[in-house]
Copies of this chain bind each other. A is one copy, B any other.
Amino acid sequence: MRLSDGVEWSLHSLWLLGVLGGDRAIPAQRLAEFYGLPDAYLAKILKLLVKAGLLTSSSGPRGGFRLARAADAITVLDVVNAVEGHQPMFRCSEIRQRGPEPLGPTACRTPCGIAQVMLRAERGWRDELAATTLADLIAHAPAASNARAKRWERHSFGQRRAA
């Protein structure tokens, strides 16, 4: 069981868009270049983020992707859900109700102990991911990370319009 690479790529791409301040749209190709990623695959992933309302996209010579909302209104969980979907990791198929001695419906009103522990662990995982926002990631990134993003922006796009 593994999260797709798209989760890592999305979080980093959103981080970059957040650090650069949101007044500039950045094409998928440029984001892919910054992180050394395959641009066609990254573009597909970014579309999932648009669909989930985390990014907006625009076309044309100044087109590209921007954050669709403030960095403190985007959680890590939002990103994981956008890329992986909202399906739970553990899906109980109620096998206790099968076979020659099925458990009756009265006894099955609550999830069995197995489903309970799996769901509790998963809830904790989601809660932890929901507790960190893109703004937190930006605030706690080392200065060297921010500096490289700004250097690349200057080199790729020239001076920022609103410095």
Residues of A whose CB lies within 8 Å of any CB of B are: 1-5, 7-9, 11-12, 15, 33-37, 76, 84, 87-93, 95-96, 98-104, 107, 112-114, 117-118, 120-122, 124-126, 128-129, 132, 136-137, 140-142, 144-145, 148-149, 151-152, 155
Nearest-CB distance from A150 to chain B (Å)? 9
Instruction: Give the residue name and chain of the B residue nearest to A156 (CB).
Output: B100
14 pairs across A/B with beta carbons < 8 Å? A2-B89, A3-B89, A5-B93, A7-B118, A12-B114, A33-B99, A34-B99, A36-B95, A76-B121, A101-B148, A107-B144, A113-B136, A113-B140, A118-B129
| Stoichiometry (number of copies) | 2
Q: Check A145 against B103 for contact (C-beta < 8 Å).
A: yes
Nearest-CB distance from A12 to chain B (Å)? 6
A88 / chain B contacts, CB cutoff of 8 Å: 2
Nearest-CB distance from A3 to chain B (Å)? 5
User: A35-B98, A148-B101 given as contacts; is B2 within 8 A of A117 (CB)?
Assistant: no
Chain A interface, >50% SS class: helix
